[in-house]
Amino acid sequence: MTGSKRKAQATQESLHRIFTIPEAPNSTLGRIEKEISENLAGFLGNHIAAKEQLLSEIEKDFDCSKIPEQPTFVSDHMHHLLDKLVSQSVHTSSPSFIGHMTSALPYFILPLSKLMVGLNQNLVKIETSKAFTPLERQVLGMLHRLVYQNDDNFYDTWMHSANHSLGAFCSGGTVANITALWVARNNLLGPDGTFKGVAREGIFQALKHYQYEGLAILVSSRGHYSLKKSADILGLGQDSVIAISTDEHNKIDCQKLKEKCQALAAKNIRVLSIVGVAGTTETGNIDPLTEMAKIAQQYDCHFHVDAAWGGATLLSEKYRPLLQGIELADSVTIDAHKQMYVPMGAGLVVFKNPASVASIEHHAEYILRKGSKDLGSHTLEGSRPGMAMLVYASLHVISRPGYELLINQSIDKANYFADIIEQHPDFELITKPELCLLTYRYNPKVVQTFLTQADDDAQDLANSILDKLTKFIQKRQRENGKSFVSRTRIEVQKYRGRKTLVFRVVLANPLTSREILEDVLIEQNELAKESHTFLPKLISLSTSR
Amino acid sequence: MTGSKRKAQATQESLHRIFTIPEAPNSTLGRIEKEISENLAGFLGNHIAAKEQLLSEIEKDFDCSKIPEQPTFVSDHMHHLLDKLVSQSVHTSSPSFIGHMTSALPYFILPLSKLMVGLNQNLVKIETSKAFTPLERQVLGMLHRLVYQNDDNFYDTWMHSANHSLGAFCSGGTVANITALWVARNNLLGPDGTFKGVAREGIFQALKHYQYEGLAILVSSRGHYSLKKSADILGLGQDSVIAISTDEHNKIDCQKLKEKCQALAAKNIRVLSIVGVAGTTETGNIDPLTEMAKIAQQYDCHFHVDAAWGGATLLSEKYRPLLQGIELADSVTIDAHKQMYVPMGAGLVVFKNPASVASIEHHAEYILRKGSKDLGSHTLEGSRPGMAMLVYASLHVISRPGYELLINQSIDKANYFADIIEQHPDFELITKPELCLLTYRYNPKVVQTFLTQADDDAQDLANSILDKLTKFIQKRQRENGKSFVSRTRIEVQKYRGRKTLVFRVVLANPLTSREILEDVLIEQNELAKESHTFLPKLISLSTSR
């Protein structure tokens, strides 16, 4: 055998090994896995560096654009990943990481995810997913029932019907929102006489046929950015998303909504959809859904509810009434990877009318043949993993009352945090929690007093320095790595609607304790003192007159 | 303490446990995990039932639409999943499952996926993904370089640039194709004078402004169904996808393509994109990309290559020339969950021009702030998992030469299978493998002879019975559970372009041996004999004259 031939054969054998020989338990990867299985929090605590590194520094470790010409041993690569990647990842499941919507996962999810990967089903069609298809349909049925509360007969009829679907499972809320508005668009501009429908002929022909000047999507100014993205993708244009202003509780102003509908009708612009928000991304507030549904009915348009965050609240009997009217929606987005505690990559949309997905149906010769129950015939995505299994398992293991407890606790915790913010002289609560989100900022008492008395210019000046201070504290806190809140900019009514920078907190991690919340305020209070520019400026401004 | 209060506290404690106490190694889930870790093939072989159950039977196990009011113990639920779900799932990694594009995974992927889930990063923004963001950018850079082969300087400049992107990572090829055409559409119909661009104003205003009668996407008749779906979603309409016929090798007829471009121009219909296919879904053939690129240039339109399947072939120096011209594409789709052996849920698109994604950029206040490097500012999806890590690890552990071996072997295997089909008197090869896909059917020698001599009507009659026989064999084979090929319907030139039902085979599983392929023919040959209607009919038809 020649040298090169021998080398080729050796490579081939080692390749065969990675597909056939499991990682030994005492290998590096085996040890890592054991650590994760036995103590995930410990593993993450040990391996994620507390102190943040500059992104530009981290990028140096990921700067090679050449695909390696030499294989690396799995164990060597694992050391590399621990050293360069894991150490500089974000400890999203840390109880003091309360700035975003990603939180801790139940332990059973870890081995279950491994089973999911091992099975490697493809949900696009039954031939590559078999029982996963009815399972996903059942999960959609359960979430549909959670929203719409129809009777057994309804679900017996539609849940497994080939040409119907109670919803679509997808990778997340953005795809769910796009899917909902896609369905709405295709139903509004459907086939009519010689016109074959927007799905076939496109928007240009559709608007010409129906003689509309344009289409509009109405949502409160707190609506998620994915709606503008949806309007762009769907060919309506971002400007077709019209933001309606909100009241002091971040809820859409229904009077203004009605007026806008009327004004658009007068201009021959057809309202495609009114979108209610059930849990705004920034403040967690819920729109008056019943009233919105009525307006949608009056203007004969699709009513979509973006409950990506708040949908899981329906699992709580105590707080379900907050979402009253959601059952009137034509479609509802819910993210399972948010308050349902499954890993990233699980969103869904449910449709009131099981026939409405017909307007987005697709077929092909080798799969999705007409009359088949392949899920892929009415999803935006094609090939998809079996994530529905994780939702299914969570619904069984945690159960509805378990979820209720988790959700109620999160809201209680948010109320507690709001209380201690309000009681603290040097913090200012900006938005009260309705669900488990709230916003606030560090604002020394003397400045707060000053703001209530200052004229508009002085108020703006103080607020602009406070913005800088908020940013300073948030960044410093993140860099220190002890705890994390996010920041955003929202219109604050008491400051004449000024867009103001605030800390944003999401309290969904079941392991976040009251002590942690108290510590966050202590830490932020100390960090504020480290600001040698903004804080002195503020104090001097507030005390100079 | 009252009874209900005690019960609530017990539930709360058990909830706390699932977030804090790991599954014990000797628990049911622990044992399952061990089995998966130590012998995945064995686990799947033991737990997936060989014999297929009727879907309607399986549905009975997934018919409850109520979310459970009682929690289930993890171990009990795992028994349920093994019994009802795993047993009726599809053994996609079986070496004799050669009908679809889902195949075996390397062993290290399993624990690595668990690490991914444990870290639960959200790639939409740096604040929830940190080092995963530069890692994903590096993976996109590597795949970009694989396609476009620019120099170090190019990648040093653009790979980590905040306002640029070499591509977009997503859940799969469909989203990748939609993203590519979305970028193309927004760049073609960009801002111009007072017109703010299609992204802002939508297609109706865009076509009025640019004074086009319509838009078109040109692709061969073998193009993937996701292109029609993309056209629907993007508001162009499915009919804007114009299928160009193919030659006898399933490659687009460039003469016809040119003629169609000309005809459309005469009608003032703007060609938005010409789409080349690099690895058709049904037959694995590759379009003449260089020639298509020239035509795209001539008509000044976007040139997209859908290499969801074939893109990985670029890793093979031996077969890379098959995709010559791909480097001329403006965008290229590649699925990592196909021939790159990572689990379901990993697709991507790369763009020749790192600035082209600017046309789909989105911003929000709390994330994706202007100038940030958040990946979410130019992806269709919002929240996304850290799947890029699995691609990154595979590229390092397997390396380019390792992938080359895997890909070359797959093609060799397909050629071997084609050979034994051709040598077998009772099988008919329909499409020869160019990559590792081929199509064929069972067709007894006597019928084959008859077909060459029969008049059109008799030929059609025989072929229609053969279609039924093909379907019979394919279904029976699938139900028996020993091996699996898929079926599709394609136009066959030697039968005057008649749409003919064929077996479709994808040979990407590294563990599929020649013996397995030989056995597939033996099994199909036997199954054919079980057809007591179609086979006798065929024989009598062929021998009656």
Per-residue model confidence as pLDDT tens digits over A291-311: 999 999 999 999 999 999 999
Provide CB contacts within 8 A for A475, sequence distance 6+. Answer: none
Binning pLDDT at 50, 70 and 90, where does residue A544 land? confident
Q: Tell me the mean pLDDT in the region A60-89.
A: 96
The answer to whether residue A398 neighbours chain B at the CB level (below 8 Å) is: yes
- Residues of chain B neighbouring A105 (CB-CB closer than 8 A): 19, 117-118, 120
* B contact residues 124-183, partner A, Cβ 8 Å cutoff: 126-135, 137-138, 141-142, 144-146, 152, 155-156, 159-160, 171-175, 178, 182
Q: Convert the pLDDT of each residue in A233-276 to its tens digit.
A: 999 999 999 999 999 999 999 999 999 999 999 999 999 999 99
- Shortest CA distance from B10: residue in chain A: A402
Considering the domain boundaries, does residue A97 fall inside one? no
Best A344, A474, A486 residue to mutate vs chain B (most B CBs within 10 Å): A344
Which positions in chain A touch B393 (Cβ < 8 Å)?
Answer: 77, 81
Report yes or no: A187 at the B interface, CB cutoff 8 Å: no
Please report the pLDDT score of residue A372 as a whole number.
86
Decide which of A366, A399, A432 is a domain's last residue.
Answer: A399
Residues B317 and B178 in one domain: yes
User: Chain A: nearest CA to B164, how far in angstroms?
Assistant: 15
By the 8 A CB rule, do A282 and A504 touch?
Answer: yes
Across the interface, of B127, B201, B347, the residue whose CB is closest to A90 is: B127
* pLDDT exceeds 80 at position B441: yes
Q: Which residue of B has its CA nearest to A149?
A: B66
**Shortest alpha-carbon distance between residue B279 and chain A (Å):** 15
CA distance A315 to A403: 6
* CA B398 – CA B315 distance, rounded (Å): 11
Tell me the average pLDDT of chain A.
95
Task: Check whether residue B435 and residue B377 sit in a common domain.
Answer: no
> A105 pLDDT exceeds 80?
yes
Flag if B93 and A364 touch (Cβ within 8 Å): no
| C-alpha distances in Å from residue B539, one per residue of A26, A191, B451, B533 | 62, 47, 12, 10
Can you give the pLDDT at residue B362? Answer: 87
* pLDDT tens digits, A506-543: 999 999 999 999 999 999 999 999 999 999 999 999 99
- Kindly tell me if the per-residue pLDDT of A365 is higher than 90: no
Q: Which of B119, B282, B382 sits opposite A86 (nearest CB)?
A: B119
Q: Is the pLDDT of residue B371 over 90?
A: no
Domain boundary among A34, A57, A89: A89
Q: What is the pLDDT of residue B514?
A: 97
Do A436 and A410 touch, CB atoms closer than 8 A?
yes
**pLDDT for residue B367:** 63
**Averaged pLDDT of chain B:** 95
A65 shares its domain with A152: no
pTM of the predicted model as reported, rounded to 2 decimal places: 0.97
List strand residue ranges (DSSP E) for B142-268, in order: 167-170, 214-220, 241-244
**E strands along A353-509, which residues?**
427-431, 437-442, 486-492, 498-506
- In this structure, the answer to whether residues A28 and A175 fall within a common structural domain is no
Interface probe, candidates A75, A120, A379, A500, chain B, greatest B C-beta count within 10 A: A120
Query: How many beta-carbon pairs below 8 A join chains A and B?
Result: 550
- Are residues A359 and A415 located together in one domain of the fold? no
Domain annotation covers residue A359? yes
Q: Which residues of A touch B146 (CB under 8 A)?
A: 67
- Confidence band of B545 (pLDDT split at 50, 70, 90): low
Residues B29-88 pLDDT 10s: 999 999 999 999 999 999 999 888 999 999 999 999 999 999 999 999 999 999 999 999
Q: Residue B365 pLDDT more than 70?
A: no
pLDDT the model gives residue A367: 63
Where among A399, A418, A433 does a domain terminate? Answer: A399
Q: Which residues of B touch A8 (CB under 8 A)?
A: 405
Whether residue B345 is contained in a domain is answered as no
Q: Do A397 and B77 touch (CB under 8 A)?
A: yes
Q: Tell whether B229 is within 8 A of chain A (Cβ).
A: yes
Chain B residues with CB under 8 Å of A145 CB are 65-67
Cβ distance of A405 and B15 shorter than 8 Å: yes
Tens-place pLDDT, residues A379-426: 999 999 999 999 999 999 999 999 999 999 999 999 999 999 999 999
CB A75 within 8 A of CB B402: no
Here the CATH number for the domain that contains residue A494 is: 3.90.1150.170
B505 chain-A contacts, CB cut-off 8 A: none
| ipTM entry | 0.96
End-to-end CA distance of chain A: 93
Residue contact B118–A173, C-beta within 8 A: no
Tracing tokens 């504290």 back to the chain, one arrives at: A473
Alpha carbon B378 to its chain centroid, in Å, reads 22
CA pair distance B271, B330, nearest whole angstrom: 14
Over 80: is that where the pLDDT of B92 sits?
Answer: yes
pLDDT(B385) > 80: yes
- Answer yes or no: do B66 and B195 share one domain: no
Residue A333, pLDDT above cutoff 70:
yes
Q: How large is the average pLDDT for residues A330-348?
A: 97
Q: Which residues pair with A331 in a beta bridge?
A: A304, A351
For the cut 80, the answer to whether the pLDDT of residue A1 exceeds it is: no
Tokens of A337: 């990877």
Tell me the average pLDDT across A437-457.
Answer: 96
Q: Are B359 and B331 in contact (CB under 8 A)?
A: no
A279 and A221 together in one domain:
yes
Q: Is residue A374 domain-resident? A: yes
Give the span between the Cα atoms of A183 and A167, in whole angstroms: 11
Among the partner-chain residues A44, A134, A393, the one whose CB lies closest to the CB of B59 is: A134
pLDDT tens-digit series, residues B203-244: 999 999 999 999 999 999 999 999 999 999 999 999 999 999
Q: Which residues numbered 441-460 in A keep a CB inside 8 Å of some CB on B?
A: none
Residue with tokens 């600035």: B355
List C-alpha distances in Å: B19 to A294, A388, B12. Answer: 42, 20, 11
Residues 20-49 (A) with a CB less than 8 A from some CB of B: 20-23, 25, 29-30, 32-33, 36-41, 43-44
Residues in chain A with CB shorter than 8 Å from the CB of B8 are 405
**Domain CATH number, residue A205:** 3.40.640.10
Residues of chain A in contact with residue B137, where contact means CB-CB under 8 angstroms, are 62
Return d(Cα B74, Cα A500) in angstroms, integer: 46
* pLDDT score at A23: 85
Residue A206 lies in domain: 132-399
Do residues A312 and A192 share a domain?
Answer: yes
- The amino acid present at B250, given as its one-letter code, is N
Question: Is B219 within the bounds of a domain?
Answer: yes
Rounded to the nearest angstrom, the minimum Cα separation between B296 and chain A is: 23
The answer to whether the Cβ–Cβ distance between A237 and B18 falls below 8 Å is: no
Residues of A in contact with B37 (CB under 8 A): 22-23, 25, 30, 33, 114
Q: pLDDT value at position B163?
A: 85
- Please tell me if residue B2 touches chain A, with a CB cutoff of 8 Å: no
Q: Is residue A258 part of a domain?
A: yes
pLDDT in tens, B330-355: 999 999 999 999 999 999 999 999 99
Q: Is the pLDDT of residue A443 over 80?
A: yes
Q: Mean pLDDT, to the nearest integer, of A452-480?
A: 96
**CB within 8 Å: A240 and B202:** yes
Pairing of β A269-277 and β A427-431: unpaired
Q: Note whether B237 contacts A199, CB cutoff 8 Å.
A: yes
Percent of chain A with pLDDT over 70: 99
pLDDT band at A163 (very low <50, low <70, confident <90, very high): confident
Query: Quick one: A391 and A406 in the same domain?
Result: no
pLDDT at residue B5, rounded to an integer = 81
A171 shares its domain with A314: yes
The residues in B 481-500 lying below 8 A from A, measured between CB atoms, are 484, 486-490
**Are A229 and B405 an interchain contact pair (Cβ–Cβ within 8 Å)?**
no
Distance CA A314, CA A231 (A): 28
Query: By C-alpha distance, which of A157, A117, A100 is closest to A33?
Result: A117
The pLDDT of residue A183: 98
Region B353-374 average pLDDT: 84
Residue of A30, A394, A171, A79 lying closest to B114 (CA atoms): A30
Residues in A closer than 8 angstroms to B135, CB to CB, are 62, 85
Residue A341 lies inside a defined structural domain of this protein: yes
Tell me the C-alpha distance between B501 and B472, whole Å: 11
pLDDT of residue B12: 83
pLDDT of amino acid B6: 83
CA atoms within 13 A on the CB side of A171: 30
Statement to judge: residues A262 and A138 lie in one domain: yes
B325 and B358 together in one domain: no
How much of chain A exceeds pLDDT 90, in percent? 90
Number of domains in chain B: 4
| Entry field: residues in chain B | 545
- Is residue B346 assigned to a domain? no
> pLDDT, tens digit, for every residue of B479-512?
998 999 999 999 999 999 999 999 999 999 999 9
Name the closest residue on chain B to residue A338, using Cα atoms: B383
